[in-house]
Amino acid sequence: MSAVEMREQVHQLVDEIDERLLKAVFLMMSSYQNEEVPIGYEMDGSPIYGSELGELLDQEVEAAKQGNYITVEELAKRSKKWLTRTK
């Protein structure tokens, strides 16, 4: 299928999809063209941009290689404390 044929078919498919999928397609295409569209959010609500994500993930991988991580068992222990109420 040529690029022209694919474009025509994509236009037709976009005309037929529901609003939820249309929003997802729109966001995906926007972020592809403009890296300044948020691709996620931090816990505090601040946006994460595609241009920042690669660097952030590289830092996290490097930290793990240097031993800066916790085991699944330690995470389970810590999470139990998060779920218990302190009076």
Instruction: Indicate the domain borders of the chain.
Output: 3-83
State which residues of the chain have pLDDT below 50: none
Q: Which residues is 52 bridged to in the sheet?
A: none
Which pLDDT score is estimated for 85?
67
Report pLDDT digits (tens) over 35-49.
577 778 889 999 888
pLDDT at 84: 80
Name the strand (E) or helix (H) holding 1. Answer: none
The one-letter amino acid at 44: D
What does the pLDDT read at residue 59?
A: 92
Does the pTM of the predicted model rise above 0.85?
no
Per-residue pLDDT at 40: 83
Report the alpha-carbon angle 49-53-59, nearest 5. Answer: 145
d(CA 79, CA 68): 18
